[in-house]
Amino acid sequence: MLQIKLKGITFADQGEIVKLEAAAGETFDEVVAEAVEKGYWGLENLSAIPGTVGATPIQNVGAYGVEIADLIERVTVFNPITGELESLTPAQCQFSYRNSIFKHSAGRHYIVVSVTLCLHKKATPKLAYADVAAYGFDAATVTPLQVRLAITEIRSKKFPDWHRVGTAGSFFKNPIITKDKYGELKKEYPELPFFEVNETHVKIPLAWVLDTVCKLKGFKMGSVGLYEHQPLALVNFGNGNEKEITALAEYVSRKVKEKINVDIEWEVQRIV
């Protein structure tokens, strides 16, 4: 297995925009912290997400109303087929919900070397997400640091500390279903939340389904389980292995299928 250890962060001032280029081996949250410390807007809602910079475009990581694709100007990759570096635009990365070209055969061979992001000097707070809105920030006066601290606090209550507990954060994607299917589920589960996707589809929060419908919050299977405060997070309690994680994930998928007849997808990638 190859682990990218490339380091380096640069900021290039371009008027109202600041270009941040970070090497793939940098810890993502440390990059977020540095950008916030400088007062730049864009990354604050992505605070406290585990992993490295190089993983962010692969996953198109997102949280609290922001996806990394919203900020990316280019992804520099090494192409082992040609032996050359290439610069991919967001369009070439084919970003979608927790997805990109890097997860598919057309781009799985690429090795991410660095990511260049466009940050803003002017305030561009994203405060609409319910958990963030609850803080009552004034969009005219709030700072990136205030938003970061709020996001960090929110996540600390929902997710385990990845510095101490084995976890990849959210393991599953929130399902996107048709509005007709949502209408069916709403009859049985009147309080089922949803988020508008387009004219025909909505996204439903899988954590709500796992907790309220499947009663799986805190469920354990051997040395692995679903986190007690956020069932989207699969946790290794110390001695678990890949087979146990896979067995648990498949069990959860079966339960969701049985209860609401919806197939769920992994956010994480399995390397075999």
Q: Is 170 a catalytic residue?
A: yes
Determine the distance from the C-alpha atom of residue 19 to the mean position of all C-alpha atoms in its chain, rounded to a whole number: 22
Beta strands in 43-200 (DSSP E): 62-63, 66-67, 72-79, 84-88, 111-120, 166-170, 176-178, 195-196
Beta strands in the chain (DSSP E): 9-14, 17-23, 62-63, 66-67, 72-79, 84-88, 111-120, 166-170, 176-178, 195-196, 201-203, 220-221, 224-226, 233-236
Per-residue pLDDT of the chain (272 residues; tens, 9 = 90+): 678 899 999 999 999 999 999 999 999 999 999 999 999 999 999 999 988 999 999 999 999 999 999 999 999 999 999 999 999 999 999 999 999 999 999 999 999 999 999 999 999 999 998 899 999 999 999 999 999 999 999 998 888 777 777 777 788 999 999 999 999 999 999 999 998 999 999 999 999 999 999 999 999 998 899 988 889 889 888 888 889 999 999 999 999 999 999 999 998 877 66
Q: Is 47 a catalytic residue?
A: no
Q: What is the set of domains in the chain, with CATH numbers?
A: 9-158 (3.30.465.10), 166-260 (3.90.78.10)
**From the candidates 26, 44, 74, 98, which is the catalytic residue?**
98
Q: Is 87 a catalytic residue?
A: no
